[in-house]
Amino acid sequence: MSVLHRKKILLAVTAGIAAYKAAFLVRGLIKKGAEVKVIMTPEAQNFITPLTLSTLSKHPVEWKFFGEDGDWNNHVESALWADFMIIAPCTANTLSNMADGTCDNLVLATYLSSKCPVYFAPAMDLDMYRHPTTLKNIDLLESYGNICIPAEEGELASGLVGEGRMAEPENIISFIESNIQSSLPLFKKNILISAGPTYENIDPVRFIGNYSSGKMGFEIAKAAANLGANVTLVSGPSQESISGYSINRIDVVSAANMYDAMHANFDNSDVVIMSAAVADYRPKEVATQKIKKENDDNMIIELIKNPDILKSLGEIKTNQLLVGFALETNNEEENAKKKLIKKNLDFIVLNSMQDKDAGFQKNTNKITIIDKDLSMQEFSAKSKSDVAKDILNVILNKL
């Protein structure tokens, strides 16, 4: 999923020949999952119509301070609505006015009212782009915190070939995505997460398992991806989805499968979160054929212990931050603290089956985080997506 998903983007179009590309830019942003509104300078209508952009964006397009009915088009409200503002094309005239603080049209008034990040994509002829005044204005705008999307080289409206051509819409989108990702707190961090149950086969049609849905682990994975992390999710059998997210999902079935996958990805990880509900035991022997019902009232299945994945990771960790989960039914704090110490964890997330808001297959959770110094931080009952954010905030503080 793009970092632009569900973002509110205000696109300002100014009066340059490259204004026709605004239609493609609107479409591209919407395909990334963004909501887009468009404003224009009055002269920009000479290059592309408001009807075209309103049809593509599904929002009215404004270009003057007062509408046909005399109502004021509130530029302050538009600026506050946006998560990001993009000025594309940004002509030499608009560039100069932005640098000077001139405020004689709706685009400039909205720019001066903006509190969100502002991206601008210059578009002008070669000599105009290279002029010292233009270069000075770009530097000045960047010193204010605005972000320049560099012009590209190519054929210009004048017939010249060189730098000054507005970046192509797909390149503008890629530039903004990369810029946002690089500013995210978990950018370039590798996070390894386990989720869901494990199934231990008895025969080809039966298994030993548990009621874990994987919801908590999947929410942590999605929240980590939203914070810019490179996420690997090792999941037991689960119906949960990560569709639309840039997450490397590895599906496993048994505890042995999960052990192998976690160890294979452990060395390259910065943070490891073991939220899976791993079966403690497995059948000593797995029947190759379906076990038939016999006349005996009882059937005995001999179980052997599965490898302790979390403990094995704690024994070999170097610089990784290692997080475990403890779902308890009694002596919750005592058992969680023992697990924290025994398995060499940096902190453990405790939830209780006695709590109506916690447990398997629920959309909510109520957790207590216990640190390696045994200090505790309690959280109120929340949706698992919000719990995931709480857990990651603790991780960010430790990183």
Over the stretch 21-44, which tens digit does the pLDDT of each residue have?
999 999 999 999 999 999 999 999
User: pLDDT above 70 covers what percent of the chain?
Assistant: 96
Residue 171 is predicted with a pLDDT of: 97
Do 190-280+303-398 and 8-183 fall under one CATH topology?
Answer: yes
Mean pLDDT, residues 389-396 taken together: 96
374 SS3 class: coil
Residue 274 is predicted with a pLDDT of: 97
Confidence of residue 3 (pLDDT cuts 50, 70, 90): confident
- Residue 141, Cβ density class (10 Å: 0-12 exposed, 13-18 middle, ≥19 buried): buried
Residue 154 is predicted with a pLDDT of: 83
Residue 73 is predicted with a pLDDT of: 63
State both tokens at 86. Answer: 């993009």
- pLDDT of residue 248 exceeding 60: yes
Worst-scoring range by mean pLDDT, 26-30, 249-253, 301-305, 319-323?
A: 301-305
- pLDDT of residue 70 exceeding 60: no
Worst-scoring range by mean pLDDT, 10-19, 207-216, 315-324?
A: 207-216
137 SS3 class: helix
- 210 as an active site residue: the answer is yes
**CA dist., res. 378 & res. 358, Å (int):** 13
Within its chain, how far is the Cα of 348 from the centroid?
24
Worst-scoring range by mean pLDDT, 7-11, 163-167, 265-269?
A: 163-167
Residue 359 is predicted with a pLDDT of: 66
Domain boundaries, the chain: 8-183, 190-280+303-398
The bridge status of strand 281-283 relative to strand 230-235 is unpaired
Which superfamily does 190-280+303-398 belong to?
Answer: CoaB-like (3.40.50.10300)
Worst-scoring range by mean pLDDT, 119-128, 218-227, 351-360, 375-384?
A: 351-360
Q: Is the peptide bond before 89 cis (omega within 30 degrees of 0)?
A: yes
236 SS3 class: coil
Task: Check 93, 210, 265, 344 and give the catalytic one.
Answer: 210
Residue 68 is predicted with a pLDDT of: 65
- Is the separation of the CB atoms in 24 and 121 below 8 Å? no
State both tokens at 118. Answer: 């502002």
Residue 209 is predicted with a pLDDT of: 87
Of the CA atoms within 13 Å of residue 221, those in its CB half-sphere come to 30
Q: What is the pTM of this model?
A: 0.79
Residue 196 is predicted with a pLDDT of: 94
Higher pLDDT, 269 or 293: 269
Residue 328 is predicted with a pLDDT of: 79
- pLDDT of residue 352 exceeding 80: no
Alpha carbon of 133 to those of 127, 130, 186, 372, 377: distances in Å? Answer: 11, 8, 38, 58, 56
Residue 219 is predicted with a pLDDT of: 96
What DSSP assignment string belongs to 42-75?
Answer: GGGGGTS-HHHHHHHHTS--B-SSB-TTS-B--H
| Ramachandran angles phi, psi of 240, nearest 5° | -70, 155
Select 8-183's CATH number: 3.40.640.10, 3.10.310.40, 3.40.50.1950, 3.20.20.100.
3.40.50.1950
- pLDDT of residue 67 exceeding 70: no
Within its chain, how far is the Cα of 54 from the centroid?
28
State both tokens at 315. Answer: 């024994």
